[in-house]
Chain A
Amino acid sequence: MTLLLLFNITNGLIVGAFYVLMALGLSLILNLSNVINFAHGGFLVIGGYIAYAISPYVGFWGALLLAPPLTAVIGLAVERVLIRPLYGRDPLYSLLLTFGLAFMIEDGTRFIFGPQGKPVEIPAFLALPLSNELFFITGYRLFMVAVVFVAVALLFLLLRYTRLGVRIRAGTLDLETVAALGINVRLLRSLNFAVGIFLAGLSGVLAAGQLGLEPTMGTGLLMPSFIAIIVGGIGSLPGTLIGGLLIGVASGVTAVFFPAASEAVIYVMMAVILLTRPRGLFGEEGMMS
Chain B
Amino acid sequence: MNADNSRKLIVLAAIWIVLLLAPYWMAPLGGYTALATRVLVLGLAAMSLNFLLGFTGVLSFGHAAWFGLGAYGAGLTLKYLALSTPLAILGGMLLGGLCGALLGTLIVRRRGVYFAMVTIAFGQVFYYVAFQWSSLTGGDDGLRGFARQPLDFGVFKLDILTNADTFYYFVLFCFALAVGAMGFILRSPFGRTMIAIRENERRSRFLGIPVERHIWIAFTLSCFFMGFAGALYALVNNFADPRGLHYSQSGDFVMMAVMGGMRSFWGPLLGAAVFVVLQDYLSSITVNWMSFVGLLFVLVVLFFPRGLLGFLQRSKA
> With A96-B297, A223-B124, A264-B128 given, is the CB distance from A289 to B111 under 8 Å?
yes
Residues of B within 8 A of A234 (CB): 114, 117
A269 vs chain B, min Cβ distance (A): 11
CB distance from A278 to the nearest CB of B (A): 7
Asked if B59 and A92 sit within 8 Å, CB to CB, the answer is yes
A258-280 residues with Cβ-Cβ distance < 8 A to B are: 260-261, 263-264, 267, 270-271, 274-275, 278
Residues of B within 8 A of A229 (CB): 117
Say which residue of B59, B120, B124 sits within 8 Å of A91 (CB atoms): B59
Q: A-facing mask of B121-155, CB < 8 A → 1, else 0? A: 11011001100100000000000000000000000
CB–CB B121/A99 < 8 A: no
| Cβ–Cβ contact A96 & B113, under 8 A | no
Main secondary structure, interface of A, reads helix
Residues of A at under 8 Å CB distance from B? 30, 34-36, 38, 82, 85-86, 89-97, 99-104, 106-108, 110-111, 223, 226-227, 229-230, 234, 260-261, 263-264, 267, 270-271, 274-275, 278, 288-289
> Which one of A95, A97, A226 contacts B298 once the chains associate, using CB atoms below 8 Å?
A97
- A17 to B142: give the CA distance in the assembly, Å: 33
Residues in A with CB closer than 8 Å to B121 are: 223, 226-227, 230, 267, 270
16 pairs of residues in contact across A and B, judged by CB atoms under 8 Å: A91-B116, A92-B59, A93-B305, A95-B59, A100-B296, A103-B297, A104-B295, A107-B290, A107-B294, A108-B291, A223-B120, A226-B120, A230-B117, A264-B132, A270-B122, A289-B109
Say yes or no: B122 contacts A271, CB within 8 Å. yes
B125 engages A101 (CB within 8 Å): no
Contact count band on B: 35 or more
| Contact code string B207-243 (vs A, CB < 8 Å = 1, else 0) | 0000000000000000000000000000000000000
Q: A103 contacts which chain B residues (CB < 8 A)?
A: 290-291, 293-294, 297
Alpha-carbon distance between A274 and B114 when the two chains are bound, in angstroms: 12
Q: Mark B7-47, 1 if CB is under 8 A from A, else 0.
A: 00000000000000000000000000000000000000000
Chain B 272-313 interface mask (CB, 8 Å, partner A; 1/0): 000000000000000010110111111011100100000000
Interface string of B54-94 (1 = CB under 8 A from A): 00000101000000000000000000000000000000000
The answer to whether A107 and B291 touch across the interface, beta carbons within 8 angstroms, is yes
A-B contact count (CB 8 A): 120
Our pick among B110, B132, B300 for the contact of A288 (Cβ within 8 Å) is: B110
Q: How far is the CA of A257 from the CA of B293 in the complex (A)?
A: 41
Whole-angstrom distance between the alpha carbons of A36 and B117 in the complex? 8
A274–B118 touching, CB < 8 Å: yes
Is the beta-carbon distance between B294 and A101 smaller than 8 angstroms? yes
**Cα–Cα distance between A278 and B108 once the two chains are bound (Å):** 11
Nearest Cβ distance between residue A214 and chain B, in whole angstroms?
15
B189 / chain A contacts, CB cutoff of 8 Å? none
Q: Smallest Cβ distance from B60 to chain A, in angstroms?
A: 10
Docked CA distance A91–B60 (Å):
12
Residue contact A99 to B117, C-beta cutoff 8 Å: no
Taken together as a complex, chains A and B put the C-alpha atoms of A176 and B301 apart, in Å, by 25
Tell me the complex Cα distance, A256–B92, Å.
Answer: 35
